[in-house]
Amino acid sequence: MTAATFGDFLRQADEHLEAAVTSSESQTADQVVTTRALGRLVAGMARCLDDRARYDVVEVVTRPGLRAWDRAAVDASAALRKAADCLDQGARTAEDRESGPGDAARHLAAAATSLAAGRDLLHTHLATTPDDLWAWRSEWAPAVTSPPITRALTAEVARWSYRLAPLTAGLASAGSADSPASAIARNELQVATQWLWAADAAVQPAQAANPVTADDARLLCAIPAAQRPGRLPPSGAESVTELCEGIRVSAERLRTAVFGTAERAQWTPAATADTWRWTARAAAVIGHASELALRSLSEHAGRGGGLSLDRSQLHAAADAVARTWTAWRQVSATWNGLTTETRGHATQITTEMTDLLLRMGRLTWDDPRWRVPTYLTHQNCQTPPIAWGYVRTSGP
Amino acid sequence: MDMHDIDAMRARLGAADGVADMLAAGWDAFELVQAVADDYADREPGMFAAFMFTAASAAEGRDAVGFAPSMPCNPSAPASQAGPDAGDAHEVAGELAGLTSALGSRLQAAAGEAEDPGDRHACQYAAREADRIGHLLGPDR
């Protein structure tokens, strides 16, 4: 089963939105229920744009170097929030026919839910710092916060605003004008319609200056949810396929685990010299095994057997890996001369490194008995510090 | 470094008298093992992992004795690098395994003699690292 993408939720929301605006029952639908659903959708659209450019209206006016699409996102978001406020007010004052949600209301509610789920998917790649800035939590985070995604998402939201405006105007005219409350509701819906038009208009200058491309839209739809696969502990006898799958899982878990470690490294008790020393050594050994495996593959590339590999690319990959593990070896040599007061802390990273190391060794040497010293298999983590710690260098 | 250095270190371990002397000798032994392991890691691809983790364990063992309360204050000069004709990787691995076997035994003995709990713990911790090196480089690796 493949992971859900933002495109999945975007398509769902778009389908529901189209179904809502093309529904033939808008003249007879319960105005209150439909207005509430519409308000929820429009508020969700505003929140999506708030994530894009985290500035307020004053900053938009006073900040000279703001990108066109950032400015568009802020302006469109402001318009959508106005529209949502009007829709909320309209729903409060309209006469409730108590006829239950019609198709349009159901589709609008479903569109709002899909959009909210898509926004949650984008947030799996990010975290908010105490300074209200985005902190990256995955490899996709740079893409999620990139200008192409801002363009594509802002343009999509503006397109929805354009589609929803006639529906809103239809709701306004569907209500009766018999009572003051109904008149107020009609007025609020008419104002909301204007704000939806304004949201669409807000992005036109950016669209003209820097149009959304097909690649932008494809990238937006391709964003997957940030997922961390479960650990696959090595077992005694694994096939080559199982070894490769285990290596893939450990590598992915390690890539996920490193996000956020820079902030934690300064205070976590797990940042000990022996942890760093072992991790650096393990990284060097993993890289060394990887280089051997790649060079072995490059020797067999092009010899048939259904293996279509480019020998020069494999050589280049092996060379790159060689540079990497050499660097890790230098890191470990540096840590050899340092120590810390606290010792003996197994971490998530050392566990994953152990799994990866074991499987790389067994795969590269084709030996299911290949073993490594698992980190801290015999350490007593309750062991108190032996003495006050010191940091010094030994040797030149 | 050549095989004589390993032999000399083995002799020094045998001659160490008292906990403090054993801690100092242990420090030097672990430094020697670390230097040799680092130098020989590249000489035999199949031994790379074993030598790399040997060096890591040697650093651990050295730090353990370094934190002992009775550890003398003046560490020795660092071990010199091995020359090109110091022996093949498998021979050196065998020699280091033998050295760390002796080291582990002497450290355990020192742990039994130590009156200070800090010294006792340091010797036991270091002896475990010496045993670990023996498993990495011994004949059944």
Q: For chain B, give the DSSP string.
A: --HHHHHHHHHHHHH--SHHHHHHHHHHHHHHHHHHHHHHTTT-GGGHHHHHHHHHHHHHHHHHHHT-TT--S-PPPPPPPPPTTS--HHHHHHHHHHHHHHHHHHHHHHHHH--SHHHHHHHHHHHHHHHHHHHHHSTT-
Q: Which residue has better confidence, A213 or A301?
A: A213
Supply the pLDDT for residue A305: 57
Using an 8 Å CB-CB cutoff, list residues of chain A that contact chain B.
273-274, 277-278, 281, 284-285, 288-289, 292, 329, 332-333, 335-336, 339, 343, 357, 361, 365, 372-373, 378, 383, 385-387, 394-396
Tell me the C-alpha distance between A79 and A85, whole Å: 10
The pair phi, psi for residue A357, each rounded to 5°, is -65, -45
Asked if pLDDT for residue A378 goes beyond 60, the answer is no
Q: Are A386 and B67 in contact (CB < 8 Å)?
A: yes
Tell me the C-alpha distance between A345 and A150, whole Å: 42
Q: How many CB pairs under 8 A join A and B?
A: 68
Q: Are B56 and A372 in contact (CB < 8 Å)?
A: no
CA-to-CA dists, residue A325 to A175, A262, A286, angstroms:
71, 21, 8
State pLDDT tens for residues A18-41: 999 988 655 555 788 999 999 999
Q: Are B78 and A285 in contact (CB < 8 Å)?
A: no
Question: What number is the ipTM of this complex?
Answer: 0.86
Q: Are B128 and A378 in contact (CB < 8 Å)?
A: yes
Pick among B1, B67, B128 to test the A interface (most A CBs inside 10 A):
B67
Does this model's pTM top 0.95? My answer is: no
**In angstroms, how far is CA B117 from the centroid of its own chain?**
22
Asked if pLDDT for residue B87 goes beyond 90, the answer is no
The secondary structure element, H or E, covering residue A83 is helix A68-93
Supply the pLDDT for residue A393: 27
CA distance B54 to chain A (A): 10
Name residues 96-125 of chain B within 8 A of A (Cβ): 118, 121-122, 125
Asked if pLDDT for residue A236 goes beyond 80, the answer is no
Output DSSP code: residue A146: S
Q: Which residues of A touch B100 (CB under 8 A)?
A: none
Q: Compare CB distances from A373 to B45, B62, B136 and report the shortest one's residue.
A: B136
The pair phi, psi for residue A135, each rounded to 5°, is -115, 135
Asked if residues A29 and A94 have their Cβ atoms less than 8 Å apart, the reply is: no
Tell me the C-alpha distance between A154 and A69, whole Å: 8
Supply the pLDDT for residue A260: 64
State pLDDT tens for residues A30-83: 788 999 999 999 999 999 999 887 666 676 667 766 788 989 999 999 999 999
Name the β-bridge partners of A79. none
Q: Are A274 and B52 in contact (CB < 8 Å)?
A: no
Supply the pLDDT for residue A11: 97
